Amino acid sequence: MGADLAEKLPDLGQRDDTVTLFCGPCSVESFEQFDEVAACLKNLELTWIRGGAYKPRTNPYSFQGLGEEGLRIMRDSAHAHGLKALTEVMDTELVDLVDSHVDGIQIGARNFQNFSLLRKVGKATAASQKMVLFKRGFAGTIEEWLAASDYLAMEGNRNIVLCERGLRTFETATRFTLDISAVPVIHKLSTMPVCVDVSHAAGQRDLVPALAKAAIAAGADSIMIEVHPNPRAAKSDSAQQLSLPQFESLVNDLRAIAAALGKTIV
């Protein structure tokens, strides 16, 4: 036993004993749609809700988000339920507006090396130390990702969560190839917590539970999952969002895995 313990590798996954869920719809579509998800998350005793007000859509004719109205919906609904709100900012000109409405700011995969945006967000949040969830670009190495995170940190923000969301590879069976290795690698190279966005990696809702379970088992500090009251009618990412009952059932399974690791889901 003593020898086994001495040889045991350090558990690099133990940042603290919580796993934070950043869940919510891909896009904020209406107050009713967002509020229904918020009520569900609150009922499950979770702390955060995500949603997109400004959407980085591949096609300019696709739904672009509700913009400032979406920010107001997020703030009003999240705060009425006692939840914190997380949303993406895509544009340097919108950083102050987004910052004034939400509790956490997301930088999306497509902006992972937009250094002026990173600097601006780092500066805007230096005093507040508001959480910045920084996604990995889908063709970015871990070294590039860590280097880019310094643009946020050097402007003063130390509250950075790195979010793996899948890579572009030769594989087309999933939307992106989820790099689970990023979790222990980041834990080895940095003190920042790691989030795994399983929904954008999977691209299909039936794959989401297995990836979420794998991410928690690998030691992820947080998980992002898209959930919608009526996924088939969603204005973006319809194929990958979970329904509310599917989400509730998955959270129950994730709690059991977290418990086995001595962690709680918040």
* Residue 239 identity: A
Q: Residue 52 or residue 70: which is nearer to ligand PEP going by CB? A: 52
Among 81, 165, 175, 263, binds ligand PEP (CB under 6 A): 165
Please state the closest distance from residue 24 (CB atom) to ligand PEP, in A: 10
* Residue spans of beta strands (DSSP E) within 108-210: 131-135, 160-164, 194-197
Residue 165 interacts with, from Mn ion, ligand PEP, none (CB under 5-8 Å by kind):
ligand PEP
Which residues, other chains included, contact 250 with Cβ-Cβ below 8 Å and sequence gap of 6+? Answer: 208, 209, 212, 225, 242
Which residues, other chains included, contact 136 with Cβ-Cβ below 8 Å and sequence gap of 6+? Answer: 109, 112, 142, 145, 162, 163, 164, 165, 167, 179, 182
- If binding is defined by CB under 5 A, does position 237 make contact with Mn ion? yes
Please state the closest distance from residue 59 (CB atom) to ligand PEP, in A: 13
| Count of residues in contact with Mn ion, rule CB under 5 A | 2
Q: Residue 26 or residue 211: which is nearer to Mn ion going by CB? A: 26
**What are the structure tokens assigned to 95, written together?**
């950083």
Among 26, 71, 94, 102, binds Mn ion (CB under 5 A): 26
Q: How far apart are CA 58 and CA 153, in angstroms?
A: 29
Q: Which one, of 128, 46, 136, lies nearest residue 85 by Cα?
A: 46
Please state the closest distance from residue 78 (CB atom) to Mn ion, in A: 18
Residues 50 to 89 in contact with ligand PEP, rule: CB under 6 A: 52, 56, 88
Give the x/- contact pattern for ligand PEP in 98-137, rule: CB under 6 A. Answer: ----------xxx------------------------x--
Residue where the block lists tokens 């920010």? 71
Determine how many CB atoms are found less than 10 A away from the CB of residue 191: 9
Q: Residue 52 or residue 104: which is nearer to ligand PEP going by CB? A: 52
Residue 135 interacts with, from Mn ion, ligand PEP, none (CB under 5-8 Å by kind):
ligand PEP
Residue 179 interacts with, from Mn ion, ligand PEP, none (CB under 5-8 Å by kind):
none
Q: What are phi and psi of 254, to 5 degrees?
A: -65, -35
Q: How far apart are CA 41 and CA 253, in angstroms?
A: 15
86 neighbors 46 (Cβ within 8 angstroms): no
Residue where the block lists tokens 């999977």? 202
Give the CB-nearest residue to Mn ion: 26
Q: Residue 51 or residue 122: which is nearer to ligand PEP going by CB? A: 51
Residues of the shown chain interacting with Mn ion in the complex, contacts defined by CB under 5 A: 26, 237
Interface with ligand PEP by CB under 6 A: which residues? 26, 52, 56, 88, 108-110, 135, 165, 197, 200
